[in-house]
Amino acid sequence: MIDTLRKLDKHIVHKSHDDDVLIYDPRHLLAAWLPLDVLQQAESDPEVLNALHEAYRVDGERLILRSLPGVIHRTQLDQNGLDSLGEYYEPSEEGRVLSSQWLPEHLEALLSAQCSNTRSPLDIPARQRLHECFKCLPGYPANSPVCYTMYNDTSNYFFYRKHHEHVPGLMLIEVARQAMYAEFYAHSDFKRGEVSISILDLDSRFPRYTESSYPVSVMVSDYDAPMEKKPRKMDKRGEFFQNGHKVAEIHLLGEVIKMPVFKRMRNISIDPTHWFRPLKGIRREAMIRLTCGRHLTGEIALLSMNGLQVRYTPQTGDAWQGGAGHVYLYLENDGLITLPVASIQDREDAHGSTLHLQLASLDSRQRFNWREVLKQFSYFAHSDAPPAETWVEAQA
């Protein structure tokens, strides 16, 4: 198991628990080549200049990453089977010349191992350190793709509930989403909590099965144009690699919504005749305290915008009809909430004794918070039947 400190911050990927974070070891690709005048730009900063010499070598009129060949000769192509590099090396009289500024990590490792006059690729800590040196260097490209390693825990309670010998496609989609969200916050001027990102469109391709027993990396880049600093859209591509092969590609288009606007969009109206069962995030135990000082605890059965139903075990002489007071509920993440009660009715049904609490008038903040409870922590149970006279009028 990896050190959890290497994982991304759960809040950056819109999660509440560290166990749900599926990516770690973020690192930017280092540019495969740079114009030679970048050396002049770095002369005023010895640390940056030394970092350039550590990672690059002079090759004609440009700097080439030390782990890559600038030219792959025809004999090397024939010998090593590297003739499928058209996207990254363009044809020349000598063979193929490095043209793309960004190469996937697995291809860099392959070329480094099979071509002479190259060094082994830098490790992840070195890449992270060098990117910090280069990111403010004039002339260094700012839109470098970001890579993450997938945290593939085959005991994951959601993705591996059923046994799989391969990584489920749904898990790869979630990894892509997390990686894209992390890359968005790292390169935009928005901070986590300022905006929400809503998925508008998602395309995926899975040319190979992704094995569950080998490492997987995902490379995230802008799908088309480079992202602005305050974008209204998030348009990203995630490419997954395993054992030197692309195993998946996912394109995600999202809308960036400022939180005040998002909250207005999500401020749905809940019919007061609808009843909901509590599911999660809310303790089933509720305490009711009357203004006269009496109190009891019971189990929450149903919730609505205007009231609650609480099951309880009656004691001899109990009479709960009428009185007003307050009901106290506990949310696991937010703590205790208090709601005013206007009246109580004690009813017997198939489940035993149930208190029907009619809530008093709520102010705007209380109504908003109570609506959020119903939206997030409950599920629809049933709707109250309309009064008989309403039904007759409707039929007329």
Decide which of 84 and 23 is more confident: 23
pLDDT of residue 391: 41
pLDDT digits (tens, 9 = 90+) for 62-100: 999 999 999 988 777 666 666 668 789 998 888 889 999
pLDDT of residue 224: 84
pLDDT of residue 117: 83
pLDDT of residue 138: 87
Cβ-defined contacts of 312-317 (< 8 Å, 24+): 312/353, 312/354, 312/355, 313/352, 313/353, 314/346, 314/353
Give me the domains of the chain, ranges plus CATH numbers. 4-26+145-261 (3.10.129.10), 30-134 (no CATH), 274-389 (2.40.10.220)
Band of the pLDDT at 317, cuts 50, 70, 90?
Answer: low
pLDDT of residue 395: 41
| Integer Cα distance of 175 and 248 in angstroms | 11
pLDDT of residue 308: 95
pLDDT digits (tens, 9 = 90+) for 158-216: 777 777 778 889 999 999 999 999 999 988 999 888 999 999 999 999 999 999 889 99
Inter-residue contact 18 to 4 (CB < 8 Å) = yes
The angle subtended at Cα 8 by Cα 255 and Cα 252, nearest 5°, is 25
Q: Which residues pair with 275 in a beta bridge?
A: 382
pLDDT of residue 82: 67
Q: Kindly give the interhelix angle for 46-55 and 124-134, rounded to the nearest 10 degrees.
A: 140
Query: Phi and psi dihedrals of 113, rounded to 5?
Result: -75, -30
pLDDT digits (tens, 9 = 90+) for 348-362: 776 678 999 999 999
pLDDT digits (tens, 9 = 90+) for 266-309: 777 899 999 999 998 999 999 999 888 888 899 999 999 999 99
pLDDT of residue 296: 87
pLDDT of residue 351: 65
The angle subtended at Cα 209 by Cα 203 and Cα 212, nearest 5°, is 115
Per the prediction, the chain carries an average pLDDT of 87
* Range with lowest mean pLDDT among 40-44, 46-50, 85-89, 282-286: 85-89
HSE value, Cβ hemisphere, 13 Å, CA-based, for 63: 20
What phi-psi label fits residue 395: left (phi over 0), alpha (psi between -120 and 50 degrees) or beta? alpha
Inter-residue contact 67 to 118 (CB < 8 Å) = yes
Block residue for tokens 């350190």: 129
Whether the pLDDT of residue 242 is over 70: the answer is: yes
pLDDT of residue 313: 83
* pTM of this structure: 0.79
pLDDT of residue 392: 43
| 219 closest CA partner among 69, 87, 120, 103 | 103
Band of the pLDDT at 387, cuts 50, 70, 90?
Answer: low
Dig out the tokens for 318 from the structure. 């109990």
